[in-house]
């Protein structure tokens, strides 16, 4: 569905109800699309700090300089 900006401002609540039911709404200015209203996907679960503890280890050489041949790839 496509609506102009004035219609979107006037009927925002109604448009949001349609979007909540899965419909996509395009907002246009002078016939040119400028925005799209889409339903928000469910939010991912909140991350828990430390939940991956013990699943991996950081190698001792993690902060060591890269070998010259690999470093050169960044400065071609």
Confidence of residue 75 (pLDDT cuts 50, 70, 90): confident
Confidence of residue 1 (pLDDT cuts 50, 70, 90): very high
pLDDT tens for each residue of 14-64: 999 999 999 999 999 999 999 999 998 877 788 899 988 999 899 999 999
Tokens of 8: 């979107």
Q: Which residues of 16-49 are buried (b: 16+ CB within 10 A; e: fewer)?
A: eeebeeeeebebeeeeeeeeebeeeeeeeeeeee
For 1-76, where are the E strands, in sequence order? 2-4, 25-29, 32-37
47 falls within a domain:
no
Give me the pLDDT at residue 16, please: 95
62 falls within a domain:
no
Give me the pLDDT at residue 40, please: 86
56 falls within a domain:
no
CATH code (residue 30) = 3.40.1620
CA angle 13, 16, 19 (to 5 degrees): 160
Report the sign of the C-alpha dihedral through residues 57, 60, 62, 63, in that order.
positive
pTM of this structure: 0.53
């Amino acid at each position: 569905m496509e609506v102009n900006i004035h219609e979107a401002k006037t009927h925002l609540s109604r448009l949001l109800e349609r979007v909540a039911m899965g419909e996509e709404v395009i907002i246009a200015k002078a016939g040119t699309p400028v925005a799209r209203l889409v339903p928000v996907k469910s939010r991912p679960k909140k991350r828990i700090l430390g939940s991956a503890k013990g699943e991996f280890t950081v190698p001792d050489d993690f902060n060591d300089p890269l070998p010259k041949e690999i470093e050169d790839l960044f400065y071609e």
